[in-house]
């Protein structure tokens, strides 16, 4: 009886154990089937596959399966095609389309330096030039290869040097000061920035600001001493000019170019040629730089003779505006010519039969006199 009870007990225990193992096996199989779609979904997401489509310009060109990949993972051919498309928009001056394109692409690939450099070029053409150069400075903090680093440094040096030179030639000292001030904050020991800003202050007789700027250099620095001497000469000329009698009769300068003026009220208009294009300019000795209207600029025939310099904040009668500046091959009034002259493009209204303003960046190249009685402009080299 004892032996039979033992056998029954063992058989019962064996059956129960088998039932338990079978239940566990079935339970694991069901759990695996339930979690399988989730695992597949995670795998897809980890690989960067998108389950929804986007209507933006960039996503229309990108394969959905690559929308979350790094630039290195993005197929090289497709990336090169996108970069080439962006450069085409830049050349064609299709700035709104390029801006949308770069915004979408850089949201997905924020460290793709080639596209960041393309964005920097866009900023040069559409925003304040000093802000554009500051943007290049910010790129120096990001990872890049040696070629890209050299390109960034070249752009900073080229844009700043060319602009400083153009503004100096245009005698646009207030604009030069506004341009250099933020750059000097970014690179306080840059000698070119220090001297350019100090000269802008010196030309405006802001002696204290000039000395504060030159404090970054040795006191006996030759360039600093030259600027101090410049302020003394300017002050002497101003005192001499104030001492002259205003009643001295007008004398036509010897060997001067005589140009007939068109009188409009109490103002005078001079006719000439801007890089081969006929132009009528209102003489404005209060304007530091010559300007043309946006309408005139858009209708120019010889656009190939124009080089874009940058955009600057300009004070006008209507307030401060962001205006583009261009370098023209020449401005010619009769036989008087100024080459490589800087021209600002402004929105001008109520200027019938006039295309712009003749500023001091042209007139200062000559000893000029205006004979109001005869309505004549005399320019002597």
Length of the chain: 381
Per residue in 187-245, pLDDT (tens digit) is: 999 999 999 999 999 998 899 999 999 999 999 999 999 999 988 877 776 665 555 54
With residues binned 3-state (H G I as helix, E B as strand, rest as coil), the percentages for the chain, rounded to 5, are: 55, 20, 25
Q: How far apart are the first and last CA of the chain?
A: 138
Q: How far is CA 101 from CA 50, 95, 112, 275, in A?
A: 19, 10, 14, 35
Q: Which of 373, 371, 372, 343 is nearest to 281 (CA)?
A: 343
pLDDT score, position 197: 97
pLDDT score, position 294: 92
Q: Which of 155, 156, 159, 199 is nearest to 177 (CA)?
A: 199
Per residue in 261-286, pLDDT (tens digit) is: 999 888 999 999 999 999 999 999 98
pTM (two decimals) = 0.72
Given a cut of 50, whether residue 52 has pLDDT beyond it is no
- Alpha-carbon distance 254 to 199, whole Å? 33
For residue 122, what is the DSSP state? H
Ordered domains of the chain (ranges, CATH): 257-380 (2.40.70.10)
What is the share, in percent, of the chain residues with pLDDT greater than 90?
Answer: 60
């Amino acid at each position: 009886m004892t032996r039979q009870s033992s056998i029954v007990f063992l058989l019962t225990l064996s059956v129960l154990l088998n039932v338990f193992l079978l239940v566990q096996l079935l339970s694991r199989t069901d759990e695996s089937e339930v979690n399988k779609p989730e695992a597949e979904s995670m795998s897809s997401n980890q690989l960067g596959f998108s389950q929804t489509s986007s209507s933006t310009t960039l996503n229309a060109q990108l394969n959905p399966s690559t929308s979350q990949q790094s630039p290195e993972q993005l197929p090289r051919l497709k990336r090169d095609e996108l970069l080439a498309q962006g450069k085409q928009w830049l050349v064609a001056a299709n700035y709104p389309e390029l801006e949308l394109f770069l915004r979408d692409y850089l949201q997905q690939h924020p460290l793709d330096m080639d596209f960041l450099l393309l964005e920097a070029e866009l900023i040069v053409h559409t925003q304040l030039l000093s802000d554009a150069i500051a943007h290049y400075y910010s790129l120096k903090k990001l990872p890049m290869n040696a070629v890209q680093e050299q390109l960034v440094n070249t752009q900073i040096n080229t844009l700043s040097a060319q602009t400083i030179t153009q503004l100096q030639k245009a005698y646009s000292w207030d604009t030069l000061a506004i341009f250099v001030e933020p750059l000097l904050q970014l690179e306080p020991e840059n000698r070119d920035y220090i001297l350019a800003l100090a000269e802008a202050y010196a030309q405006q007789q802001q002696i204290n600001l000039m000395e504060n700027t030159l404090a970054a250099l040795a006191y006996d620095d030759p360039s600093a001493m030259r600027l101090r001497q410049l302020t003394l000469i300017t002050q002497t000329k101003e005192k001499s000019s104030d001492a002259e009698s205003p009643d001295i009769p007008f004398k036509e300068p010897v060997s001067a170019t005589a140009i007939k003026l068109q009188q409009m009220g109490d103002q005078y208009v001079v006719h000439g040629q801007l890089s081969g294009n006929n132009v009528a300019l209102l003489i404005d000795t209060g304007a530091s730089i010559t300007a043309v209207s946006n309408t005139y600029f858009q209708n120019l025939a010889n656009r190939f003779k124009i080089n874009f310099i940058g955009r600057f904040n300009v004070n006008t009668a209507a307030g401060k505006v962001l205006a583009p500046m261009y370098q023209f091959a020449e401005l010619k009034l009769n036989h008087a010519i100024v080459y490589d002259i800087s021209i600002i493009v402004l929105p001008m209204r109520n200027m019938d039969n006039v295309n712009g303003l003749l500023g001091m960046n042209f007139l200062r190249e000559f000893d000029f006199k205006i004979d109001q009685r005869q309505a004549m402009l005399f320019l002597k080299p």
